[in-house]
Structure formats: structure tokens, C-alpha cells
């Protein structure tokens, strides 16, 4: 079985396993106590904090350990906003932030604050100018991920941090995906990370808050972790997290070169082997191990099951794999195809032979899914020189499949009106038009669902 979903959770690093087992014997006592066992536990905790701070690029007394990366994000955002509430209640986030950031933004807005969501381009990248335009006198905090968790695109953190610093606004960086590859550049103010993303144990996050940043911890007071992370420290897991972060950093430069070569092979070969594929994300400024592509006329959940049966564990941003039946907010913000989406994220140590076997299996898996979905005949009628495709009640990717089947039945310049009540159609039909060089005219209300207008130009 080839595990290709390291962006969700990386396999436990051997160094983390060794450190975890060792600290279970040595670090079980309360590090706040002054007796021998407590002092030993405190030494382990202090050493872990020093190692993590060195990797992050901050002072040890600026870093605390939390119960997860999500908790670090929520604590960081809430504390920074509360510390600057006299400045204002305006928060800036990008449209492709991790859900933990967006959920915190929703909570802030529901409590009376205001939120500006900065858009991205089709590569998933913000521009420093867009953050500069969003800054205003009442801005309390800005947030920007170091690299995207779904498509791997790296963000211009250093440039945005400089603009924020110039305006006196702290910048919180979610570095969960990138921290194992190196420190985050730029003059950021707060930073969060998650140990299971770099091969540490789950249940450990970190939050760094630079000296001078106004920060007011929320919730009941607690004496542990500078009052910023309540509860007894999970010392064995913290020690393992810090040890594994140091270990992966030592391997990062060489492993990054190797994984970039493997992911580039996937980026180039997949469109050659599989027709009607869109590879998404920035082709250059990206994390080493992530490559994402979307396949037309493919149900994402079915494709993931087919690949799983073939021995490959991958992830997807397709709406078909979501209980909400809505496409990934990242793919939606980028305006790219969401149906049949596959994210391959290679863990450290992935062999070239595993990638080659994936490239051998993928074409047959996609073809098999397309065959299964090709049976439904499009329900098409002509109304006032417009070909109408009724795809109501049909989920992705059926509306696009039925559009593709009938586009050739209208003359050049003619219109196809696709009726759909699937939210994914709002993203997938324009993406199909761009891939097929047809004109997406727009959408209009329909008696049921939405009507999407497509003009045949090719």
C-alpha cells in the first residue's frame, strides 16, 4: 500500500517514535513540581521548547505548545484580536486559508467583528497588493498561510509581513504545511504549526507570539504555557514533536530536491496519460511533495475508492467526497475544476517506483470511472434556439458530462442552457468552458436550481 496523503497527516518519523517511548519513562511527572521527577520533566519540556523555537526562528519564551494545530490557530487569532480590540475589530484572511482560520473568522464576524477575505488567482496565490488594499485603520490582525494545504502553492509571506509591519498590523502565519521544510521568512508576528504534519505525533500544536505583540489569552486563566494553553502538558508527545521537527529539518534540503522531482514527474505525465485533466496550483512556487489535478467527467469519491483498491491512499477536494456536497473552498476560490480532484502528497522516503506504479494505475482507474458515468443520456430540448440540458437532481460530474455530450449539437455561436441544482456546477461548468475553449456566458435564476449559459465558439 502506498500512502500518498502526507498533507493530511505524515507517518510517524522514526525519531519521533524513539523520543516518545523514551520520554514515557522519563517525562511522566508534573514539570511544575520541584522534586526530582518534576525537575527531570521540566528539563525535557525546556529542551523541547528550545529545539522547536530554534526551528521556528523565535525565542523559547515566545513559543507555547497546544493540544493541536487547530487549537493553536484559534488561540492565536482570539488572543491577538482581543489584545488589539481598542485598535479595531477588522480581520483579514485569504480565501484559501485552512478551515481552522476561516472558522475563527466566522466566529469573529458572528460576534460583531468585520472580516475581509482576500481573493487569489488561478494558481491559488494572493498578491501583496491585495493585502495592502485590505489594510485599514481599524485592522486588528491579518492571517496568511505559508503554503496551501490542498494545492501546495506557497504564499508571499515576507512581502505581506513587511506591508503589515509598516501599517502596524500583526500578521499570523499558519505554517502547518511548510514548517517541516524550513523556517518561515519575513517579519511575521504570530505563527502556528501542527506536529502530525511533519511526522510528529498527533495532538501537539505550537503557537509563537513575538515579543511586543499585544496578546490577551481568552478563556479561564491557567498557569501553564504562559497562560496561553490550558491543561497538563502532554510531555512525551511534545518531546517527540520537537525531536521529529529537528530530524526532518536535517533531511529537508536533500529530500525536497528528491520529492520535487517526483511531483514534477506526476505534473507532467498525468496530462499525457489521462485526457481532460487540469493540473492546479502554482507550477514553481510550491511545496516539494504536493501535486493536485482534476479530471473531467469523474466522480471524485469513486475515483478515490478505485485508487484505494489499487493500493494508493490519496485525498480529494471534490464535492463528491464531501458530506456537504459542496466543492473545496480552495478550488472554488481559485476558479478551477473541482470534479474528479486528486491530491497526491508524498511523505518523506517515497520511492520513485511507487510513483511509477501510480502513473501506471491512474489511467485505467479514471477510464473505469468515466465508463460507469457515461451511461446516462442527456435530457436535452430546444427552447427558442437554445439547447436546454436538464441536469436537475444529478450530482457532479453528471451536469458537465451532459453538457459535453450536447455541445456539438448546436451551431457555432449557439447557446446551451444547463439546469443544475448542484453547487459544484457553479465552479465546474466555467472551468470546463476554459478547458474546452467555449464561452461561459454566466448564470441566471431558474424555476428550480440555476441555469448556466454556455456559448459554443469552438
What does the pLDDT read at residue 385? 67
Parallel, antiparallel, or unpaired for β 90-94 and 139-143?
Answer: parallel
- Residue 175 CA neighbour count, 13 Å, CB half: 28
d(CA 22, CA 348): 23
Q: 17, exposed or middle or buried, with CB in 10 Å at 0-12, 13-18, 19+? A: middle
**Which residues of the chain are modeled with pLDDT < 70?**
318-325, 375-385
d(CA 294, CA 277): 6
What does the pLDDT read at residue 2? 93
What does the pLDDT read at residue 326? 74
Q: What is the strand order of the sheet 90-94 is part of?
A: 63-66, 205-209, 190-194, 171-174, 139-143, 90-94, 114-118
First-to-last alpha carbon distance for the chain, in angstroms, is 43
SS (H, E, C) 154-173: ECCHHHHHHHHHHCCCCEEE
d(CA 212, CA 217): 15
What does the pLDDT read at residue 383? 56
d(CA 357, CA 350): 12
Reduced to 3 states, what is the DSSP secondary structure of residue 89? Answer: coil
d(CA 218, CA 413): 60
Reduced to 3 states, what is the DSSP secondary structure of residue 417? Answer: strand
Q: Determine contact, residues 379/389, Cβ cutoff 8 Å.
A: yes
Angle at 56 between CA 52 and CA 60, to 5 degrees: 55
Plot region of 353 (φ>0 → left; ψ -120 to 50 → alpha; else → beta): alpha
3-state helix, strand, coil in the chain (%, to 5): 40, 20, 40
* pTM score, whole prediction: 0.87
Which residues does the annotation mark as catalytic? 320
What does the pLDDT read at residue 366? 94
Residue 297, all three cell numbers: 467527467
d(CA 87, CA 139): 7
Within 10 A of 144 (CB to CB), how many other CB atoms are there?
Answer: 26
Burial 408-447 (b: 16+ CB within 10 A, else e): eebeeebbbbbbbebbbbbbbbbbbbeebebeeeebeebe
How far is CA 67 from each of CA 2, 122, 195, rounded to the nearest angstrom? 29, 34, 10
Q: How many helices (H) and strands (E) are present in the chain, helices listed first?
A: 12, 17
Q: Which residue has the cell 475563527?
A: 104
Residue 146, all three cell numbers: 505559508
Amino acid at each position: 500500500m502506498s500512502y500518498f496523503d502526507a498533507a493530511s497527516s505524515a507517518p510517524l518519523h522514526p525519531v519521533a517514535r524513539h523520543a516518545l517511548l523514551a520520554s514515557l519513562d522519563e517525562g511522566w511527572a508534573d514539570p511544575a513540581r520541584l522534586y526530582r521527577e518534576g525537575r527531570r520533566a521540566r528539563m525535557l519540556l525546556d529542551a523541547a521548547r528550545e529545539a522547536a523555537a530554534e526551528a521556528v526562528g523565535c525565542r523559547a519564551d515566545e513559543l507555547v505548545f497546544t493540544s493541536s494545530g487547530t487549537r493553536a490557530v484559534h488561540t492565536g487569532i482570539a488572543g491577538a484580536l482581543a489584545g488589539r480590540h481598542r485598535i479595531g475589530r477588522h480581520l483579514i484572511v485569504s480565501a484559501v486559508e485552512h478551515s481552522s482560520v476561516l472558522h475563527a473568522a466566522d466566529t469573529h464576524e458572528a460576534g460583531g467583528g468585520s472580516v475581509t477575505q482576500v481573493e487569489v488567482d488561478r494558481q491559488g496565490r494572493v498578491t501583496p497588493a491585495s493585502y495592502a488594499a485590505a489594510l485599514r485603520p481599524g485592522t486588528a490582525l491579518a492571517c496568511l498561510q505559508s503554503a496551501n494545504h490542498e494545492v501546495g502553492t506557497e504564499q508571499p509571506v515576507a512581502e505581506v509581513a513587511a506591508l503589515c509591519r509598516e501599517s502596524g498590523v500583526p500578521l499570523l502565519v499558519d505554517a502547518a504545511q511548510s514548517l517541516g521544510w524550513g523556517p518561515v521568512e519575513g517579519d511575521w508576528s504570530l505563527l502556528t504549526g501542527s506536529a502530525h504534519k511533519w511526522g510528529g505525533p498527533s495532538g501537539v500544536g505550537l503557537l509563537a507570539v513575538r515579543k511586543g505583540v499585544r496578546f490577551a489569552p481568552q478563556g479561564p486563566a491557567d498557569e501553564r504555557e504562559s497562560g496561553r494553553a490550558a491543561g497538563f502538558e502532554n510531555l512525551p508527545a511534545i518531546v517527540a514533536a520537537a525531536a521529529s521537527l529537528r530530524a526532518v529539518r536535517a533531511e529537508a534540503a536533500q529530500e525536497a530536491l528528491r520529492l520535487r522531482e517526483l511531483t514534477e514527474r506526476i505534473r507532467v505525465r498525468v496530462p499525457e496519460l489521462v485526457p481532460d485533466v487540469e493540473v492546479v496550483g502554482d507550477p514553481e512556487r510550491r511545496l516539494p511533495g504536493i501535486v493536485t489535478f482534476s479530471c473531467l467527467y469523474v466522480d471524485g469519491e469513486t475515483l478515490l475508492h478505485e485508487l484505494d483498491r489499487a493500493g494508493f491512499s490519496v485525498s480529494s477536494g471534490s464535492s463528491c467526497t464531501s458530506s456537504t456536497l459542496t466543492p473545496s473552498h480552495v478550488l472554488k476560490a481559485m476558479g478551477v475544476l473541482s470534479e474528479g480532484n486528486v491530491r497526491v502528497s508524498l511523505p518523506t522516503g517515497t520511492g520513485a517506483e511507487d510513483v511509477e506504479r501510480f502513473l501506471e494505475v491512474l489511467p485505467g482507474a479514471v477510464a473505469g470511472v468515466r465508463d460507469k458515468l457515461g451511461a446516462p443520456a442527456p435530457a436535452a430540448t430546444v427552447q427558442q434556439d437554445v439547447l436546454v440540458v436538464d441536469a436537475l437532481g444529478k450530482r457532479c460530474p453528471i451536469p458537465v458530462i451532459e453538457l459535453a455530450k450536447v455541445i456539438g449539437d448546436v451551431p457555432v455561436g449557439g447557446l446551451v442552457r444547463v439546469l443544475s441544482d448542484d453547487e459544484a456546477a457553479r465552479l465546474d461548468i466555467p472551468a470546463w468552458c476554459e478547458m474546452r475553449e467555449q464561452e461561459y456566458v454566466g448564470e441566471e435564476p431558474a424555476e428550480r436550481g440555476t441555469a448556466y449559459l454556455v456559448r459554443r465558439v469552438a
